[in-house]
Structure 1
């Protein structure tokens, strides 16, 4: 078997059994095939990236599988209920103004001695009821601590295992809601305690004024 050189303008060609072999053309074909393969690989990578992007977007849109909203709502409603059950003097401004007009304001120094005694007894009941209300609100707030701790553990675990931005954001929002509920509990406890202390201070002031008036009336006789 012999190779016969064939004329060519730019490269040597050889005949092998009547088949023309062009090395340059072969090299170009190989290079073209390699480039085509590279393009195909690039397209495959693009498709893979797009698929991964879709997966990530799906994860970002996935809702958090846990929710503590109902627990937080129940705790807030319980605290609110305790505040609405305030004894004697409610937290409404109108009720406070009415009670002070009747029993505190000016100490009713023009009232009879029997009326002064009745007012003093009413003020004492106000103070006792307010301190009882404060203790009940504080007990309710303390009772919410266990629920808050459970919610925190649930949300922290969920945020750590979140698969997407939406889940992480939802976990963060629920943690903020829990913080708001705890601040509401703290505000309620402070308000109840402050209410009790304010009524006690008002009672002491009224009793001091009435004591002076009774002493004045005694020496006037």
Structure 2
């Protein structure tokens, strides 16, 4: 009985040593230099640091996006470095000057009414023989002057074509290298201005040519009326 009891006590002691050995080793590993290492706390700190780093990266991206937006706004507000407004105004002024130089009956309602009263109808066709000759000569001068004015306007507009072509090339080249919305809009506006100037030139040509044709038609009508008056007087004299 004594031998069995001794064996049982030895087995229990060995079991205790076997169980306590790993626990002592774990405690020894967890405690280094008097500092206790907590794995759970360590993992939580790592997650917190990762979240903080992610927030910092998001803030950096936001700042980068804001900087890019400011650069784009500055680029969109940048003005077009070229302008053809001066050349267009000069061409329009030249055409207007040619129209204002119209001889005889000019582009004025009062002047037209007065000229027709004096040379194309009424007393101008029933006056004395000398007055009829003078009025006929005045009407001829009106027609010749009108055709001359139309040719001057046409020549001036043809000369404008070279400047217009240069302006279009300049604006198209600037629009192709435009870096912002304002530059593109300004280039488009200048191209529209060139188109408007061309339409204005076309209207001037049509006005000058129409004036010449109308004066020619009025001259023919006046000559016909004058001829009838001369024939009436001839018959009355006989």
TM-score between both structures, scaled by the size of structure 1: 0.92
- Gaps in structure 1 of 5+ consecutive residues: 7-12
Moved more, 18-27 or 174-183: 18-27
Determine the structure 1 residue equivalent to 2:186.
170
Alpha-carbon distance, 1:212 to partner = 1.1
Larger radius of gyration: 2
- Structure 1 residues 3 and 159: CA distance shift in structure 2, 3 A: farther
SS in 1 for 2:107: coil
Are 2:103 and 1:87 equivalent residues in the alignment? yes
Which residue of 224, 227, 233 corresponds with 1:208? 224
Q: Tell me how many residue pairs correspond in the alignment.
A: 214
Q: CA deviation at 1:72?
A: 0.4
In the TM superposition, 1:10-21 aligns within 5 A as 14-21=30-37
Higher fraction of helix: 2
Separation (CA, whole Å) in 2 of partners of 1:141 and 1:154: 20
Task: State the SS of the aligned residue for 1:91.
Answer: coil
Q: Is residue 64–residue 171 contact of structure 1 (8 Å, CA) maintained in 2? A: yes
Distance 1:45 1:107, change over 3 A: farther
Aligned-partner Cα distance in 1 for 2:218–2:42: 107
Higher mean displacement: 175-184 or 17-26? 17-26
Distance 1:178 1:107, change over 3 A: farther
Q: CA deviation at 1:78?
A: 0.3
What secondary structure is seen at the aligned counterpart in 2 of 1:132? helix
Q: Distance in 2 between matches of 1:156 and 1:42?
A: 42
* TM-score, structure 2 normalization: 0.85
**What's the RMSD between the two structures over aligned residues?**
1.6
Unaligned runs of 5+ in 2: 1-23
